[in-house]
Structure 1
Amino acid sequence: MAQDTAPQAPTAPGTPARALLPLILPALVVGVAAALLLIGVSTAAEELQHVLWQNLPDALGIGRYSVLWMFVMLIATGIAVGLVVWKVPGHAGPDPATLGLDAPTFPPVVVPGLLLATVLMLAGGPSLGPENPIIAVNVALAVWLGTRLVPRLRGAPWAALAESATIGALFGTPVAAALVISEALAGHLMRGRLWDNVFAPLAAGAAGALTTALVARPNFDLGLPRLDRTDGGDLLAAVVVATAAALLGMCAIYAFPYVHRAFQRLRHPMLMLPAGGVVLGGLAALGGHLTLFKGLEEVATLARSPDGWTAGQFATMAVVKLAAMLVAASCGFRGGRIFPSVFVGCALGLCAHALVPGVQPAVGVAAGVLGTLLAITRQGWVSLFTAAVLVASPTILTLLCIASLPAWLLVTGRPQMQLRFDGAPVR
């Protein structure tokens, strides 16, 4: 029998255990600290939201989610965040339209303003989540403190530890963190084996997730009717809904540079952000109060009653939420786009169920979230993971993997929802 004499590619050498062991303790510390900061910011925002949207309108005798109050609160939030961006040292960081999940390392002077702007935004109602600014803050603190307190540990990837810890805390599991880090490593020259490179970030993500689970007990399962068996109709529905969601997301992405440029013409945060608040107030009046805020609690409200709205109402909420996210990201509010995108995908999936009752709510929601996140984030693993977690059904994974293929072909190589400093879209 002839033997294959073709040369084999060299296998990357494994990292010795003695090089990985010193990273465990810093990873755990960063994981716990990052999760506690996220929980602290979220708790502060929730308390302030309760005051602004319940106590205050009740005391004034105004409807909590009346059109008048939504306009007042969103404009006031624009003014408050505008003051932070204008006057607070560090100006709450650079233009958020130029940032993604992998934020650059900011100097510590940026941290207080960015935290304050994030709390005000989360409480005030704009359609953005906490992920981008909290990752940026945790990265800045981890790099600054780590390099000073542990100078001997020169090889510690402080930024990767903080990013993994925050993502693990956000999703309540280290799996999401490992997927994001492995996807990031795939685009760079990697030294050693993959598992050696994700070892310390995985430890940080696990510590962050466990801390969140013990303190906040997050639950992303929407409680939709269980999906035990699938057939060809479910596969077709998943492909169609994911593709439609990706197309809708791409509409917002192509509009992003133009909307951003329109707000930039105002040239001052005290004009840009209040103007954004005016537009967001109009969108809230059109889409209703469920299209406010980051969207997680509102997604749970939709999922509890998948037949509670018409197809037109679901479609309106999806389009309004996407437009609100586009405006908030363009005018200068500090926030991320993952959680609002989940709402858009959920509303779109339930719209498909309302139009075609044969589309199971779990299939529609998971496919809608998958397609929207693929377009908005370009994070394939995170998109699959998030869509699957919301449904909590192992049988959905096969459908999602297949549905992701045509959706990915629509978005890959095209502009992203992130701009360069000159205003050109990142590809």
Structure 2
Amino acid sequence: MATDSAVSAGPAPARRLLLLLVPALAVGVLSALVLLGVSLLAEQLQDVLWETLPDALSVGRYSSLWMIVMLTSIGLVTGLAVRSVPGRAGPDPATMGLVDPPLPPGVVPGLLLVTVLALAGGVSLGPENPITAANIALAYWVGRRFVPGAPDGLWLGLAAAGTIGALFGTPVAAALILTETLTATPGKGALWDRLFGPLAAGAAGALTMVLAAHPSFDLSLPDYPGTHWGDLLSAIVIASAGAVLGLAAVYAFPHVHRAFRALGHPVLAMTAGGLLLGLLGALGGHLTLFKGLDEVKVLAADPGGWSAAEFGGMAVVKTAALLIAAACGFRGGRIFPAVFCGVALGLCAHALVDGIPVTLAVTCGVLGILLAVTRQGWLSLFTAAVLASDMSLLPLLCVATLPAWLLVTGRPLMQLHKDGTPLR
């Protein structure tokens, strides 16, 4: 990511940083508004597809038949949309990361359209990747016209930070993610000078989203009773198990992607993907559909409501759904579905060994699988910690990160080169 050019080399005086504040705030607010608009539109369409329509047809809203029919139909419609819109809604999503170079602005409407279809249709992907790509494209296009002398990397960094800040409702997430790509190297200025603009954009995006929609990642988990020696072993085992589950999807990703590409047509691939997602939904239940942010709160609200086998089954089904959705061509992100997988895995561990505190099990499950799927250490640790809102867990999470990171580091990424081979 070329955000190192967001501010020029050398010590950055306050005046230059202040000049950066206006475009940073503007990009942050606009990034949040794009996310908010897409989310609201997807929610309205979701109500029609999963409530109004099945009620009108006297079909169970989340019956196995309706899940199979709906997700197959969404695959077909989304495939046709990808084929028809300008630029085919962007490159193959299997080749895209969370933050990539700007797309042509003409691709953005089609990309947002197919994102809304996937979010509303129950596809196990989140909004983060396509929304970030859309906001980067828009910020880059507008920024070059109004401030032609600014470095190209400025708009990429601001849009990425604004979107991430809006997604998580806090600018800290944006700063932590960008810290992994913006390193303080000699001659390029202090790290916080280079983070100043992205942090402002992240704050603007986060505040806009909080004021407009009041999002919350707090799962209202039981209070953590305090650290014991046994918790250390539990944290390491659960985080490592989450990493292994995530790596299973990572290693299967190029093979599943190759199988869908062998169908030779995006409409066929996405229709087949939709059918498989419908079958998985029928197997795992309706909670394994959609991006998972609302559904994970249902799980966390009733840790004793399912057996260990049922929680484990949901974790595996959701992981498989994430794998298929990402490989067959649906546009969407992997963070929110991975959080669901981690929560289900953690609740499975608690159900197996009820002496493991629920909060510890859930946060460690999320930590492990996010490390494997995103390969973002700060993001994984931050997300796990914010789910519990209990700082006493942070030392345990930091320790649990170490063996889990050793499992995932150097492994392939859940992202492919254009020839279908995995990135490392």
Scaled to the shorter chain, the TM-score interval is over 0.9
Q: What's 1:374 paired with?
A: 371
Q: TM-score, normalized by length of structure 2? A: 0.96
1:194 and 1:40 map into 2 onto residues whose CA distance is 33
State the structure with more CA Rg: 1
Aligned pairs for 1:317-332 within 5 A: 317-332=314-329
Say whether 1:225 aligns with 2:226.
no
Please give the per-residue CA displacement for 1:42-90, whole angstroms capped at 9, x wherever unaligned: 0000000001000110111000000110011101111111111101111
Asked if 1:301 is matched to 2:298, the reply is yes
Q: Assess if the C-alpha contact under 8 Å between 1:384 and 1:400 holds in 2.
A: yes
**Aligned residue for 2:266?**
269
Match of 2:143 in 1: 146
The farther-off stretch of 318-327 and 233-242 is 233-242
Q: Classify 1:160/1:189 alpha carbon distance in 2 versus 1 (closer, same or farther; 3 Å).
A: farther
Aligned match of 1:251 in 248, 251, 266? 248
User: Structure 2 matches for 1:99-178, cutoff 5 A?
Assistant: 99-154=96-151, 157-178=154-175
Partner in structure 1 of residue 3 of structure 2: none
Q: What is the match of residue 408 of structure 2?
A: 411
For 1:152 and 1:143, the matched residues in 2 are separated by 12
* Gap change, CA 1:267 and 1:346, over 3 Å in 2: same
User: Counterpart of 2:105 in 1: which secondary structure?
Assistant: coil
CA distance in 2, matches of 1:190, 1:141: 30
Task: Report the equivalent of 2:58.
Answer: 61
Structure 1 residue 14 displacement after superposition? 2.8
Distance 1:86 1:363, change over 3 A: same
The counterpart of 2:398, out of the listed 398, 401, 407, is 401
Residue 285 of structure 1 and its aligned partner are, at CA, apart by: 1.1
- CA distance in structure 1 between the partners assigned to 2:63 and 2:169 by the alignment: 34
User: Is contact 1:164–1:202 with CA below 8 Å preserved after alignment?
Assistant: yes
**Is it true that 1:348 corresponds to 2:345 in the alignment?**
yes
Aligned 1:357-368 pairs, distance under 5 A: 357-368=354-365
Cα offsets for 1:274-297 (capped at 9, x unmatched): 000111111111101010000011
Distance 1:408 1:264, change over 3 A: same
Residues 23 and 156 in structure 1, CA contact (< 8 A), matched pair in contact too = no
Q: Which consecutive aligned stretches of 4+ in structure 1 deviate over 6 angstroms post-superposition?
A: 187-190
**DSSP 3-state at the match of 1:318:** helix
Distance 1:398 1:378 in 2: 20
Q: Which secondary structure does the structure 1 equivalent of 2:418 belong to?
A: coil
Q: Equivalent residue of 2:66, what SS?
A: helix
Rate the CA distance shift 1:189–1:90 in 2: closer, same or farther, 3 A. farther
Q: Render the CA deviation track for 1:157-215: whole Å, top value 9, x for unaligned.
A: 00000000000000000000000111111398871110011000000000000000100
The one of 25, 41, 44 equivalent to 2:41 is 44
2:354 aligned counterpart, secondary structure? coil
- Looking at structure 2, the residues matched to 414 and 334 of structure 1 have their Cα atoms a distance apart, in angstroms, of 24
- Is the Cα contact below 8 Å between 2:126 and 2:333 reproduced in 1? yes
Cα distance in 2 for partners of 1:25, 1:61 equals: 53
The 1-side partners of 2:10 and 2:126 are apart by: 40
Alignment counterpart, residue 83 of structure 2, candidates 82, 86, 98: 86
Which residue matches 1:7? none
How far is 1:18 from its partner?
Answer: 2.0
Aligned 8 A contact 2:250 2:412 in 1: yes
Contact (CA 8 Å) 2:183, 2:191: kept in 1 or not?
no
**Cα drift, residue 155 of structure 1:** 7.1
Q: Secondary structure at the match of 2:180?
A: helix
Structure 1's unaligned 5+ residue stretches are 1-11
Using the alignment, how far apart are the partners of 2:313 and 2:205 within structure 1?
A: 36
* Residue identity matched to 1:372: I
Provide the C-alpha distance between the structure 1 equivalents of 2:247 and 2:93, rounded to a whole number of angstroms: 19
**Post-superposition offset of 1:153:** 3.6
User: 1:156 Cα shift?
Assistant: 6.9
Write the deviation string for residues 82-111 of structure 1: whole angstroms up to 9, x where unpaired.
Answer: 111101111100000001111221001100
Q: Which amino acid aligns with 1:132?
A: N
Distance 1:19 1:375, change over 3 A: same
One-letter amino acid of the counterpart of residue 109, structure 2: P
Determine the structure 2 residue equivalent to 1:287. Answer: 284
Match of 2:20 among 13, 19, 23: 23
RMSD: 1.3
Instruction: Decide whether the 8 Å contact of 1:34 with 1:162 is kept in 2.
Output: yes
Kindly tell me: are residues 154 and 281 of structure 1, through their superposed partners in 2, closer, same or farther at Cα, counting changes over 3 Å? closer
Distance 1:322 1:398 in 2: 28
Amino acid at match of 1:170: L
Q: CA deviation at 1:399?
A: 0.6
Aligned residues: 416
Cα gap change, 1:270 to 1:189, in 2 (>3 Å): farther
Instruction: Say if 1:115 and 1:137, in contact at 8 Å, map to a contact too.
Output: yes
Q: Is the 8 A contact 1:228 1:395 kept in 2?
A: no
Paired amino acid for 1:270: V
Cα distance in 1 for partners of 2:267, 2:74 equals 11
Segments of structure 2 that go 5 or more residues without pairing to the other structure are 1-8
